[in-house]
Amino acid sequence: MEIICSHDICTGCGACNDVCPHSAITMELDNNGFLFPVVNQEKCVDCKLCQITCPILHPNRIRANELKDIEVREGWSLVDNIRKDSSSGGIFGQIAYDLLSTGKWKIAGVDFDGHHAYHKLISTIEELKELQNTKYVQSFTSDIFQDVLKALKEGTNVLFSGTPCQVGGLYSFLYKKKIKGELLTIEVVCHGVPTYKILEQSIEYNKADSIVSFRNKDKGWGYHSQQMEYRLKNNEIVTKNREKDLFYHYFFGEKKLRTSCHMCPYAKFPRTADITIGDSWGTTNPSEEERRKGLSLVIANNEKAKDFLENEANIHLRKIGWFTEIEINRNLYTPFPPIEKENIQEYLENIKKELDIPADEYLKNTPLGYIEKPLKIDLVHKVMRKIVNKALPRLEGNGELDKFSSLRFAMTILLLRLKTNTYTLPSQRYLSKKFIKLTKDVYNSKKA
C-alpha cells in the first residue's frame, strides 16, 4: 500500500494509523508542516484495512444525524472556575467535569505541550484542565482511537472531543465493533488546521521557548481574547494580541491551511457529532457580565444530545435564533475560502513563498483577515439594504424555524436574497447564498 487516500482530500484524522494491525502506518508532518499518514512498506501486507476504514473514502461508515433534529442554543458553565479556564462558555469543560465526577466516564480531548497538540484519554478531574481552551493546530491522534475502543469494550463510557474530521474518523474506526460502554461525541466549530510551520516560526520570531496558550480571557471574552501567550527562555510570559501576533496574521490572513480544509466534507449540516460547540459570535445576549465571561454556541444534533443537555444541571442554555448565530459561524455550513483541485499546487507554492517572507515585513504588509476587492453597489441597493435590515429582524423573531408559517418563511427567504444582492464583498454574497440554501433545507426537514 503506497497511498491510502489522495493528499488533497486527506484530513489527517489518523483512523488509518490506529486500525493498522501491523503498525505499518505513522502520522508525520510533511514538508509543508501538515499531518499525513506514512506507510512503512516493509511492514505493510497490503490488507487494505486502512483504506476500508478511511472515512473520506467510505463516508457511509459514519453515523448520520438528521436536519430535523437540530436545536441551536447559547450556553455557559455555571461554575466560574471552569468557565474561566475555557476559551468561551466552558461547555466542554463542564460536561467533562460532571461526567468524570460519576466515576463511570473517561474523556478524550486535546492537550498541548507548547509545540504540538495531541489527543489523550483522561480519567481524573485533576487532568481536565490540560484539555480545556482552544488549540489552533491539528492534534496528533495516534493511539487515541484504540484507547477509546478499549475503554468502550470494557464497559467504560467515553466522551470524545475533537474536530469534525476526527469525530468522523472515530466513528469509522468503531464501525460495527461490539462495545459495552456509551459514547458521546463533541465537535468544535473548525476553521481549518494550519501548517505547524507557522507555529514554529512564531515561536522563533518571538525568541520564545514555547506557546502557553492561543486564547486568553483575562480582559474578557470576544475577539480581543484571541491573543497568544509565549513562554520565553527565561520563563517570562509574553502576550501578543491578534493584531500584532505573527501566528494570527498567518492563520487569519489568507490562511495557511491543509488543502482538505478548503474542501472539507464535514463543513455542512447535518453535523457529524452528537453536540457541536463553538464561540457564540453572533450573540444577542443583553448581559454585559455574561458576554465578558464567555459564551458558547451549542448545537444538539440528535435526540440523544437533546436529552443529555437537558439533564446537564451545571450548564445554562439560552434559546437563540437560527439567523443570528449560524450565518456568522460560516464553517458550520461551508468550507471557506474554497479552492478548486486544479489550484492546489499553486496554493501550496504560495504557502512556501509567504513563509519565506521575513516576519517583520509580513506583519507590516499583510492585513489581518480575509482581504478582497469590494463590489460597487448603486443607490437603489443601498436604500434596499436599509429597508431589509429593518424588516428582517421582525420576520426572523426568535429564529425557531419550526414555528415559522410557510408565508412568513417565504418572506424571510425573499428578504435574505434581496440582502445578498446588497453586499459589497464577494465572500458575503457567496456565504449568504450557502446559508439561504441551508436554511431552506432545515426548515423543510423540520416541517416534513
Domain identity same for 176 and 275: yes
Distance CA 314, CA 308 (A): 12
Q: CA 415, CA 444: separation in Å to the nearest integer? A: 18
pLDDT digits (tens, 9 = 90+) for 394-428: 999 888 999 999 999 999 999 999 999 999 999 99
Whether residue 291 sits in one domain with residue 148 = yes
Q: Kindly tell me if the per-residue pLDDT of 391 is higher than 90.
A: yes
Domain that holds residue 83: 61-193+257-332
Same structural domain, 204 and 173: no
Terminal-to-terminal C-alpha distance of the chain: 46
pLDDT at 253 over 80: no
My answer on whether 327 and 297 are in the same domain is yes
Domain for residue 10, yes or no? no
Mean pLDDT of 358-370: 90
66 in a domain, yes or no?
Answer: yes
Does residue 254 surpass a pLDDT of 70? no
Say what percent of the chain tops pLDDT 70.
Answer: 100
User: How do residues 317-351 score in pLDDT, each as one tens digit?
Assistant: 998 889 988 999 999 999 988 998 889 999 999 99
Domain presence at residue 398: yes
Question: pLDDT confidence of 303, banded at 50, 70, 90?
Answer: very high
Do 297 and 251 belong together in one domain? no
Same domain, 274 and 170: yes
Average pLDDT rounded to a whole number, residues 152-175: 98
Identify whether 373 is part of a domain. no
Amino acid letter, 277: I
CATH number for the domain including 23?
Answer: 3.30.70.20
Residue 118 lies in a domain: yes
* Cβ(331)–Cβ(192) below 8 Å: yes
What's the whole-model pTM score? 0.96
Same structural domain, 54 and 65: no
Co-location of 437 and 309 in the same domain: no
pLDDT at 195: 95
Residues 250 and 275 in one domain: no
211-239: average pLDDT: 94
Does one domain contain both 302 and 238? no
What is the total count of domains within the chain?
A: 4
Query: In this structure, are residues 19 and 172 in contact, taking their beta carbons and an 8 Å threshold?
Result: no
Determine the pLDDT at residue 252. 86
Question: Is residue 238 included in any domain, yes or no?
Answer: yes
pLDDT, position 70: 96
Amino acid identity of 193? Answer: V
For position 375, what pLDDT does the model report? 94
**Quick check: is 3 in a domain?**
no
Does the structure show a pLDDT above 70 at 276? yes
161-190 average pLDDT score: 98
